[in-house]
Structure 1
């Protein structure tokens, strides 16, 4: 990956445009309502041992959601066309239980939503990621989204159109991401597919210093020979 990983707290990033085509952040005057912890989910405050950078493949996410009002900002095409978007930057802990919902939050100011829109084109998603994950690693939403922009902006993406047009395995896709990013190895990458075998997310395992690291054994997921399909969109 770019040297920006080593400079995470020294670099002031500009608006992330990676993987967004003709993205137009809308004029916003209202804050994004804070996300509330679901009753079924526990509040867990634990020491952070590393992080996961989770990136959602928007064409697959929007495949059946183009007319869904809840996902209009990401999927309608009115505000741009998206490839990978940031699902979230998640703090991890030793073991299976990661920290979450560390404290209650207030509404996200419109300026924060607009600044991060082309990276995460959903105010609702921003509010949830800050409430569920960001509160466990930062005191202010500005800090959480600043770090998220740096990490997402550091990733170089392989040619997904080309990869989608040939038989593909999980191992080959991990290798393609590793080849595009210096310092990133295939065993530092996890993939998520749906039940039909279509790619949903790429997740990069990071250490406490935000440098890529080998994913814990419990997180490795798909075997190398697992077939994967990539939806390019219509």
Structure 2
């Protein structure tokens, strides 16, 4: 059975996590959203017990490196709506060695909810997909899912990875250490680092227990070894 996250859990999250200023100074102007994009499942429905969560933070300059002129990614990559650093890819429920996905959603996502989330997840299609594939297996309403994402993200301080990218001998371990140093209570064992095949930073994956406390990442979420060389694209 999938976890159904109540408003009381959202309130507990708000009390448990410290408020944090965004260390990356970008200004986001969310565009108007006329309709919620239609999403087609890319796999089977899996209703499984939730044992933990992953908050995936995508490094936007790397994602946008080849997409700046793509209309499908204009909000995130076109520049008119701000310049993004780490953005939320999604919040994913875990279930041991597998994960629940594409659960039945009884409440529809609204255009206003999509727009309200686009400074965290700067793609209307991605907001819709994350709710349909992952959020529907966590909570009953999309507003709850998006609120949990906002609370978790609001409790984090983001290191200045633009500055860190200029360091010599940069490694995945340094990426983890910088995040742990900026966020008391986080240990490096709970911070996954995803690199592409060329060794460029793509994503930081934060591993949570079912209680939303940081937890050791599984091997698949851990990603690159500490010793792995890393290059960070700055969007120049």
Deviation at 1:34, TM superposition (A): 3.4
Please give the root-mean-square deviation of Cα atoms over the aligned residues, in Å: 2.3
Where does 1:5-24 land on structure 2 (aligned, <5 Å)? 7-8=12-13, 19=24, 21-24=26-29
* Runs ≥4 residues deviating over 6 A: none
8 Å CA contact 2:106–2:140 kept in 1: the answer is: no
Deviation at 1:19, TM superposition (A): 4.2
Alignment match, 1:60: 62
8 Å CA contact 2:195–2:202 kept in 1: the answer is: yes
Alignment match, 2:213: 211
8 Å CA contact 1:197–1:227 kept in 2: the answer is: yes
Name which of 176, 179, 182 aligns with 1:180: 182
- How far, CA to CA, are the matches of 1:106 and 1:184 in structure 2? 34
| 1:15-58 Cα shifts (integer Å, max 9, x gaps) | x9774612111233x221231212xx111000000000000000
TM-score by length of 2: 0.88
8 Å CA contact 1:32–1:107 kept in 2: the answer is: no
1:126 and 2:127 equivalent?
Answer: yes
SS of the aligned residue for 2:193 comes to strand
1:27 and 2:46 equivalent?
Answer: no
Alignment match, 2:159: 158
8 Å CA contact 1:60–1:233 kept in 2: the answer is: yes
Alignment match, 2:40: 36
Alignment match, 1:71: 73
| 1:105-154 Cα shifts (integer Å, max 9, x gaps) | 77531211121111111000000000000000010000000001111111
Instruction: Give the number of aligned pairs.
Output: 224
> Which ranges of structure 2 fall in alignment gaps of 5 or more residues?
1-9
1:169 and 2:174 equivalent?
Answer: no
Alignment match, 1:110: 111
8 Å CA contact 2:24–2:160 kept in 1: the answer is: no
8 Å CA contact 1:192–1:201 kept in 2: the answer is: yes
8 Å CA contact 1:51–1:92 kept in 2: the answer is: yes
- How far, CA to CA, are the matches of 1:51 and 1:192 in structure 2? 16
